[in-house]
Amino acid sequence: MKLFKFFSQEIAIDLGTANTLVIQDGEVLIDQPSIIALNRRTRETVAVGQRAMLMHEKTHGNIETVRPLKDGVIADFDAAEKMIKGFINMITARRSFFSHMKMVICIPSGITEVEKRAVFDSADHVDSKETYLIYEPMAAALGIGLDVEEPVGNMIIDIGGGTTEIAVIALSGIVCDQSIRIAGDEFTLDIMNYLKKQHNLLIGERTAEQIKIKVGAALTELESPPEDLAVNGRDLMTGIPKQIYVTFKEVAESLDKSISKVEDAIMKALEATPPELASDIYQTGLYLTGGGALLRGLDKRISSKTKLPVHVAEDPLRAVVRGTGIALKNTDRFTFLIDRRNN
Ligand SMILES: Nc1ncnc2c1ncn2[C@@H]1O[C@H](COP(=O)(O)OP(=O)(O)OP(=O)(O)O)[C@@H](O)[C@H]1O
Ligand SMILES: [Mg+2]
């Protein structure tokens, strides 16, 4: 048994549209952007994660950067597998000695059967011998310390890069859920489009994301507003670089439509919640996880829309991977884990 343990490796992966996190024995070993740089000709990996991100939108003819996931699911299988391999190699150089690899991978709840099978296949290709999948809101609930096996309803709202997942969880299952493909990436695009329209300023994805993080807001009134941010880009009229100042109010305006869609999905999920569970949620409130939970004023905005208390998870970017790690330790017990047979 000991020998077997020595030769085995157990990891939990949150393969997100924006970030990939890997946890082993409760310790987060990888927390990097989901991106890979490839040699355009040979398709060999040049860099993964942070190093590849530095090259993003700055590449030349020989190198291309790829974000293998789109809307929460794998859009480029070859690139996704190479990226996962790259991350796994970072954790252990002795990888080839491990005879047994067990993995729990987190997936969005709106995933199709075909997409699910593709995730299993990718795990096979990186030599996983025992693979389980877990739905993202379930992982998020575990990650923030909720007891998902209790006969008590909890609503989780995970706003990631590609998807917003809203789910009511009780008795080890997802009672009802809404998954929409509007989340952080869409917010970033909204900011790019707004600056193009309002200021004739062309900016890249990375700059737009920085604007969102530094002066992003869900409300035009904030208690402690961030200072205006200097943004550099290219003037659409003259074609030369220029600088403007962006305020949080402008960002809130640019994000308003997308946030309304998130709110609509939350309202739908609440309407679909059975009354007994709705009464639990009335007391416990809503839990926000994922990077989108960090948007200024979002908790307040959702709270005034739903008239319910809204809690932002502590370290919302890591809630899902922590929960996936807890699932890894309980694969014998948690009936909600998906393996190839019950897929
Ligand atoms: N402070 C912040 N304010 C607003 N948005 C933020 C902040 N920090 C990170 N984000 C956004 O959160 C998103 C990433 O969140 P997260 O890592 O939870 O997504 P993911 O798990 O990779 O995506 P998905 O679950 O949809 O596949 C990105 O769009 C990022 O721009
Ligand atoms: Mg996620």
Per-residue pLDDT tens over the stretch 270-289: 999 999 999 999 999 999 99
* CATH code, residues 2-139+320-329: 3.30.420.40
Closest ligand to Cα 296: 1
Cα(13)–Cα(15) distance, integer angstroms: 6
From 196, 204, 174, select the one nearest 111 (Cα to Cα).
174
Mean pLDDT of the chain: 93
Report which DSSP code applies to 181: S
Checking if the pLDDT of 12 tops 50, the result is yes
- Residues 98, 246: Cα–Cα separation, whole Å: 51
pLDDT at 95 over 90: no
On the question of pLDDT at 236 being above 50, the answer is yes
| 30-68 burial: b if 16+ Cβ within 10 Å, else e | bbbbbbbbbeeeeeebbbbbeebbebbeeeeeebbbbbb
Pocket test for ligand 1, best of 294, 299, 324 (most atoms within 8 A of CB): 294
- As assigned by CATH, the class of the 184-254 domain is alpha beta
pLDDT for 71: 86
Judged by DSSP in three states, 260 sits in: helix
Question: Nearest C-alpha to atom 5 of ligand 1 is from which residue?
Answer: 292
At the top level of CATH, the class of 147-182+258-316 is alpha beta
Nearest to 32 by CA among 46, 11, 18, 42: 18
* Exposure string for 248-259, b = 16+ CB within 10 A, e = fewer: bbbbbebbeebb
| Among protein residues, the one whose CA lies closest to atom 8 of ligand 1 | 291
Question: Which tens digits make up the pLDDT trace of 28-79?
Answer: 999 999 999 999 999 999 999 999 999 988 778 899 999 999 988 889 989 9
Q: Where in the chain is the domain with CATH 3.90.640.10?
A: 184-254
Find out whether the beta carbon of 323 lies less than 6 Å from any atom of ligand 1. no
Q: Which ligand is nearest to the CA of 17?
A: 1
Q: What is the DSSP letter of 221?
A: -
Distance between CA atoms of 9 and 326, rounded to whole angstroms? 15
CA distance 217 to 202: 21
For 286, phi then psi, to 5°, come to: -110, 145
In this prediction the pTM is: 0.93
pLDDT for position 109: 86
Q: What is the pLDDT of residue 2?
A: 46
Residues listed for the chain? 343
More confident residue, 342 or 136: 136
Q: What is the pLDDT of residue 254?
A: 98
